[in-house]
Amino acid sequence: MMDDLQLAVERMRAEGADFCDARYQTITTNGIAVVDASVRRISEDRIRGVCLRARKKGSWGYATTVDASKDVILEAAVKAARNALAGNAMGRPIPDTGEAKVELKAKVKLHPSQVPMEEKVQAVLDMDRAQKVDARIVNTNSVLREEVRQNSLVNSHGRQLSWEEVRTTIMVQAVASEAGRTEFFYDIKGGGLGYEVVRETDLEAFGREVGKESLKMLAAEKAPSGLLTCITDPAISGLLAHEVMGHASEADEIVKRRSFLTDMVGKQVGSPLITMVDDGTVPEARGSVPFDDEGTPSSRTVIIKDGVYQGYMQSLETAAEMGVKPTGNGRAQSYDRRVWVRMTNTFFEKGDQNLEEMIADVKFGVLTDRMISGMEDPVGGGFEAKALRGYLIENGRVTKLLRSFTLTGNALEILRTGDAVGDKVELDGGSCGKGIEDWVPVSSGGPHCRFKIVLGGD
Amino acid sequence: MDLERISKKSVHKVLEEGAKEVESYLVRVRSLTAYIDDDRVKNLEEKLDQGISVRVLLNGKMGQSSSTFHTTRDLEECGAKAVALAKLSRPDPYFKRFPGFSQPAGFVDVRQEDAASATTGYLKEKVEEIVRAAGEEVKVPRGLLRVALVERALANSNGATFRELGTMAYAHFTSMTKGPEPGEGCDCYYSSGLSGLDTQAMGDRLRQKARNAQGAEHFKGKMTGSVILPPDELAEMLLASVGYSLDGENALRHRSPWAELVNKEVGNELVNLRDQPWDPRSALSGRYDDEGTPTREKPLVERGVLRTLLYDSYHAQMGKAAATGNYIRRDPSDALNLYRRGGATMPVNLAWKPGTQSVEDMISDVKEGVIVEKLAAPDVNSVTGGFALEVRCAKLIRDGSVVGHVDQCLLVGNFYQALKRVGAVGNDVAVHRNCIIPSVRFDGLEIVGSE
C-alpha cells in the first residue's frame, strides 16, 4: 500500500499540487450493547479507504475512495489535484516537514484482539445487571466499545508513516422512575487503552453505583438561577477549557481572525491560578495520538500559563501562515473527512487546594457533578455547559442535590474570577465536532475550579 | 455493480452460513462538497463511498456487521462476521423476524436531478454567490455546500427487497461583522435538491443576522413572557423532545414521558404534528425506511392529542405492535458511512401544521417576549423536557413591537409543558433537518439575564 500511496503523491505533484499527502486507513469498531439485561447488539464495523489531499496556493482538493486498487487511487489523485487547482484561496507554502520512515504499534496492555468475545459479552451483562439495585430502576443500559485504527500516510516531503491507535470505552446508564418523575445517571471509563480498562474495573460496583446514583436523582431539586459561586468538577472544568478556550485557540480561527483570542498572546486572560494545555502525548488518554493526520508528531501546547495567554494549536497550514512550528493538531475524523486544526487532550493544570477546602470557603454556591453537553463559541467567547447534576453549598457545607442545570457567561470574565484550583486533574473522554460535523476522539478535563458563573436551573 | 443484485446475493450467502434470518443493506454514495474559508473557496471535495451492513438472527441470537466494500470478498467477510458474532451472543427475547413485503418493491427513484448531476465546479459557483450576496459589510469565515447522490438497496430473507435512488443537499454558512466585537450569524439549507437554494436570500440573511448579533445588548433581569422560536431552532428542540418521546422503544423501556399517553393530551389544540415521509422537500423522504418497511403518512399529534408511537421492526415485536416505517439510518446533512450507523426510530419528516399568521402578526400579539434568532445549542433534556438555553441573539418584543436585540441570557422552561402553552403557529414553513415546520410562539417561558 505504501508504494501505491507514494505513486499517488507523485501523481498529484505531477498534476500541479504544491504539497500533497495520501492516507490509507482502516477503522475497526467492536460494540456490545446490553439493555435491560439482554444483549441488544453485538457488532463489528469496519471502514477502509484512501484519502488523497492536494494543495495549490491556499486551496485544498480532496478525493476519497473505498476501492484501494492502484488505478482507482491514481484516478482519485488526479481529481484531488484538479479540485485544488480550482480553488481560489491564497496561502503560504507548507515548509518541509522532513523525511521520516516510522512504524508504530499502539502501547496498550491488552489489545482487544487478544480477548475472546465471550468474555466481553459477559462483562457487559455483568455491569448491566448490577445497575438493578431497586424496583424503581426501570431501564439499564451498558456498552463496551473498542476501536482500532491502522493509519498509513505518505506525503510529498518524504514522510512515510504507519501507526496504530486503540481506544476502549465502557459506559453504564440507569434510568429511575417514581411517581411520574424520571431521571438518569451515567458513568464512563476508557481512553487510549486496551481491554485492561475492563479487567481492571470492578464491573459489579461500576454498575451498582450508577443504579444507586440514579435513584438519588429522583429527589434532586431545581438549581438556583443567577450569578453564583460555582465549583466546577473536572468534567465541567474540561468543557470550559475545551469548548471556549480550546476551540478559540485552534489556529485556523486565528488566521481568519474569527476567534476572540486573536492577538491575545502575552495578555492576561484569567486568574494567575489558571494554566491550560493541549497535550496529545498524555499516556492512555483518549485524545492522544503518536502523529496527527498530517504526520506531525503530537505535542504539548501551553495555551494559558499563570493566567497569561501563550498561543495556539497548529496544523501544517496554519503553522505556515503564522510562521511557527506545527503542533500535531491537524486531525480528521477518518480517511473520508477533511483535516482541520483540532484538539487532543485539553485541560487545566492542577492547583494546590483539595475539594473540601474549596467547599469550606463558599457561603452560598453550587458544586457541579458531570456534564451533559457543551457548546463552542470562538467568535463571542460565550460559555454554555449543561451539568447533569450538582450540589448546593450553604455556609461551607454541601446541603442538597440539584438536578440538571446550565452554566453560562463570558469565558474570559469567568476565568478572571477563578480563586481556587484543585489538586487533582481528571480527564473525561469524548468526541469533538467542529461546527456540526467532523468528530474526533478527544479528552478534556482539569481539577475542580472555583469561579463565579451564571446558572440557570431547568 | 447492481446493488439490489448484490444485496440478494449477500442474503443467500449468509443463509448458507447457517443464519435463519438475514438482512443485507447496501449504500453507494457520491458526495461533493465546496467549502468556504474566509470568503474564499478553500476545499473542493469528491468522495465515493459504498458499504454494506448485515444483520442476522441465528438460533434466536442476533449479530451485526458492517463494512466498506469493493470486492465480493468484502461482502462475504462482512456476512461471515455477522454470523460469527450471532453465535457468541445470547438469545434475544423479542426479535423473531425481519419485515416481509406483501408485494415486491422494485426500484424507486426520488432523486432531484439538479443535485444528482451537480459538479464541484457548480457548487463552487453557488458558494461564491452566497459570499457575494452577504456583501462587504460582513465576511463569511466558514461555509459549506454539499450534495450527494445516495443509492440504497435492501434485501432480507423474508423476500423484502428494494432499491431507492435519492439525493440530499445541505448548506451551512456563518457570517461575522468586521471590526471589534463582531456579531455572528448562521444560516442553513436542508433539502433533497438545489432548486430551493436562494443564494441571494441566504447572503442577505447572513448579513442581517450578523448585524443583529453585533447590535445586541445584554439582557438584564428576569422576564416571563412569550417566546417565538423560528423553524431552525425549534426543529432541534422538537427532535430532542418529541422525537425522543415518539420512539416506541423509549416507551417500552419506561423512559418516555409519553409512554402511557396515546390518545391522551400532550399539547394544546395548536399542536398538530404529522409524519410526511414522501415530502419532496426533505432529503430523508422515501418510500421505504432503512430496514425495508414501507413508509406512510400518519398523524402523530392531532389538536394536542397523541395518536401513535413509532416502531422499528425490533421494538414492534417487543411491543406486539406493527412496524411503522420509521427506522432511519440516513442524515440530511451527511451521506457518508450510512451503513455504519445503527438506525434510530424517528419521524421520517416531522411536519407541524402551519397556521395563518405571519411572523409579524405573531409579534404584534406579544405584550412582552422575544423572538429567538440564535441559541448556543437548542437542546432539551429528552427524559424530563427541561431546558436552559443560552440565547446568542434574540429580538426583544414589547407591546407588539420589536424594540431591540438582546443576548447573554438563558431561555428556561420545560418543553413538554410548553407544548400545552402554544400561543400561535406561523405560516412560514421551512425545512430544517427532517422537520418541516413554521415558527411557533410559546407563552409563559422564562428569560433570565446574566446580570
Q: What is the pLDDT of residues A264-311, one digit of tens each?
A: 999 999 999 999 999 999 999 999 999 999 999 999 999 999 999 999
Kindly tell me if the per-residue pLDDT of B450 is higher than 80.
no
CA contacts within 13 A on the Cβ side of A318: 26
Tens digits of per-residue pLDDT, A132-172?
999 999 999 999 999 999 999 999 999 999 999 999 999 99
Cell numbers at A250, concatenated: 485552534
* Minimal CA separation from A303 to chain B, in Å: 22
Kindly tell me if the per-residue pLDDT of B357 is higher than 80.
yes
Kindly tell me if the per-residue pLDDT of A211 is higher than 90.
yes
Task: Indicate whether A249 and A362 sit together in one domain.
Answer: yes
Q: Hey, what CATH topology would domain B3-214 get?
A: PmbA/TldD fold (3.30.2290)
Residue-level pLDDT at A456: 85
Query: Which residues does chain A have within 8 Å of residue B45's beta carbon, measured at their own beta carbons?
Result: 61-64, 83, 338
Task: Indicate whether A112 and A244 sit together in one domain.
Answer: no
Strand B138-156 versus strand B21-37 pairing type: antiparallel
When CB atoms are compared, the residue of A42, A410, A458 closest to B63 is: A42
CB of A112 within 8 A of CB of A194? yes
Cell numbers at B47, concatenated: 468522495
Query: Which residues does chain B have within 8 Å of residue A173's beta carbon, measured at their own beta carbons?
Result: none
Do B408 and A409 count as a contact with CB atoms less than 8 A apart? yes
Tens digits of per-residue pLDDT, B185-217?
999 999 999 999 999 999 999 999 999 999 999
Residue-level pLDDT at B449: 85
* Minimal CA separation from B357 to chain A, in Å: 30
When CB atoms are compared, the residue of A90, A377, A408 closest to B410 is: A408
Task: Indicate whether A281 and A400 sit together in one domain.
Answer: yes
Query: Which residues does chain B have within 8 Å of residue A338's beta carbon, measured at their own beta carbons?
Result: 35, 43, 45
* Minimal CA separation from B217 to chain A, in Å: 13
Q: Which residues of chain A from 327 to 366 reach within 8 Å of chain B, CB to CB?
A: 334, 336-338
Mutation pick from B27, B54, B254, B393 vs chain A, by most beta carbons of A within 10 Å, is B254
Q: How confident is the model at residue B103 (pLDDT cuts 50, 70, 90)?
A: low
Task: Indicate whether A188 and A321 sit together in one domain.
Answer: no
* Minimal CA separation from B244 to chain A, in Å: 14
* Minimal CA separation from A217 to chain B, in Å: 12
Considering A217, A247, A276, which residue would you say is the last residue of a domain? A217
Residue-level pLDDT at A225: 86
Do B40 and A59 count as a contact with CB atoms less than 8 A apart? yes
Residue-level pLDDT at B5: 87
Q: How confident is the model at residue A457 (pLDDT cuts 50, 70, 90)?
A: confident
For A416, the 3-state DSSP assignment is: helix
Reported as type and span, the H/E element at residue A138 is strand A137-155
Q: If you measure CA to CA, which chain B residue comes closest to A243? A: B376
Do A406 and B381 count as a contact with CB atoms less than 8 A apart? no
- How far is residue A448's CA from residue B428's CA, in Å, rounded to a whole number? 47
Do B65 and A79 count as a contact with CB atoms less than 8 A apart? no
Q: ipTM for the complex? A: 0.91
Task: Indicate whether A117 and A28 sit together in one domain.
Answer: yes
Q: How confident is the model at residue A214 (pLDDT cuts 50, 70, 90)?
A: very high
Do A458 and B386 count as a contact with CB atoms less than 8 A apart? yes
For range A202-227, the mean pLDDT: 96
Q: What is the mean pLDDT of chain A?
A: 96
Query: Which residues does chain B have within 8 Å of residue A24's beta carbon, measured at their own beta carbons?
Result: none
When CB atoms are compared, the residue of B44, B93, B410 closest to A406 is: B410
Kindly tell me if the per-residue pLDDT of B1 is higher than 80.
no
Task: Indicate whether A358 and A448 sit together in one domain.
Answer: yes
Answer whether A156 touches B (CB < 8 Å): no
Q: Which residues of chain A from 207 to 246 reach within 8 Å of chain B, CB to CB?
A: 225-227
Kindly tell me if the per-residue pLDDT of B102 is higher than 80.
no
Kindly tell me if the per-residue pLDDT of B331 is higher than 90.
yes
Task: Indicate whether A175 and A311 sit together in one domain.
Answer: no
Do B255 and A184 count as a contact with CB atoms less than 8 A apart? yes
Kindly tell me if the per-residue pLDDT of B438 is higher than 90.
yes
Query: Which residues does chain A have within 8 Å of residue B408's beta carbon, measured at their own beta carbons?
Result: 382, 408-410
- How far is residue B58's CA from residue B55's CA, in Å, rounded to a whole number? 10
Do A225 and B49 count as a contact with CB atoms less than 8 A apart? no
When CB atoms are compared, the residue of A44, A59, A255 closest to B41 is: A59
Answer whether A185 touches B (CB < 8 Å): no
Considering A187, A217, A247, which residue would you say is the last residue of a domain? A217
Do A458 and B414 count as a contact with CB atoms less than 8 A apart? yes
Q: Which residues of chain A from 39 to 98 reach within 8 Å of chain B, CB to CB?
A: 39, 41-49, 58-69, 76, 79, 83-84, 86-90
For range A374-396, the mean pLDDT: 93
When CB atoms are compared, the residue of B46, B81, B182 closest to A44 is: B81
Do B85 and A117 count as a contact with CB atoms less than 8 A apart? yes
Residue B305 identity = V
Q: Which domain holds residue A260?
A: 226-457
Task: Indicate whether A179 and A238 sit together in one domain.
Answer: no
Do A89 and B89 count as a contact with CB atoms less than 8 A apart? no
Q: If you measure CA to CA, which chain A residue comes closest to B393? A: A380
* Residues forming a β-bridge with A422: A353
Report percent pLDDT > 70 for chain A: 100
Q: What percentage of chain A's residues is helix, strand, coil (to nearest 5)?
A: 25, 45, 35
End-to-end CA distance of chain A: 54
Cell numbers at B240, concatenated: 430532542
Tens digits of per-residue pLDDT, A185-203?
999 999 999 999 999 999 9
Query: Which residues does chain A have within 8 Å of residue B132's beta carbon, measured at their own beta carbons?
Result: none
Tens digits of per-residue pLDDT, A420-446?
999 999 999 999 998 778 999 999 999
Q: If you measure CA to CA, which chain A residue comes closest to B32? A: A63
Kindly tell me if the per-residue pLDDT of B451 is higher than 70.
no
Kindly tell me if the per-residue pLDDT of A130 is higher than 80.
yes
Task: Indicate whether A33 and A55 sit together in one domain.
Answer: yes
Considering A166, A190, A217, which residue would you say is the last residue of a domain? A217
Task: Indicate whether A294 and A208 sit together in one domain.
Answer: no
* Minimal CA separation from B53 to chain A, in Å: 8
Do A382 and B67 count as a contact with CB atoms less than 8 A apart? no
Among B157-166, B229-238, B288-297, which range has the highest average pLDDT? B229-238
- How far is residue B309's CA from residue B245's CA, in Å, rounded to a whole number? 8
Do A83 and B333 count as a contact with CB atoms less than 8 A apart? no
Residue ranges of the domains in chain B? 3-214, 217-449
φ and ψ at residue B362, rounded to 5 degrees: -65, -40
When CB atoms are compared, the residue of B49, B89, B448 closest to A456 is: B448
The domain tally of chain A equals: 2
Tens digits of per-residue pLDDT, A32-90?
999 999 999 999 999 999 999 999 999 999 999 999 999 999 999 999 999 999 998 99
CB of A216 within 8 A of CB of B417? no
Task: Indicate whether A352 and A262 sit together in one domain.
Answer: yes
Answer whether A399 touches B (CB < 8 Å): no
For range B353-379, the mean pLDDT: 96
Tens digits of per-residue pLDDT, A91-109?
999 999 999 999 999 999 9
For range B111-136, the mean pLDDT: 97
When CB atoms are compared, the residue of B46, B66, B379 closest to A63 is: B46
Report percent pLDDT > 90 for chain A: 93
Query: Which residues does chain A have within 8 Å of residue B48's beta carbon, measured at their own beta carbons?
Result: 64-67, 76
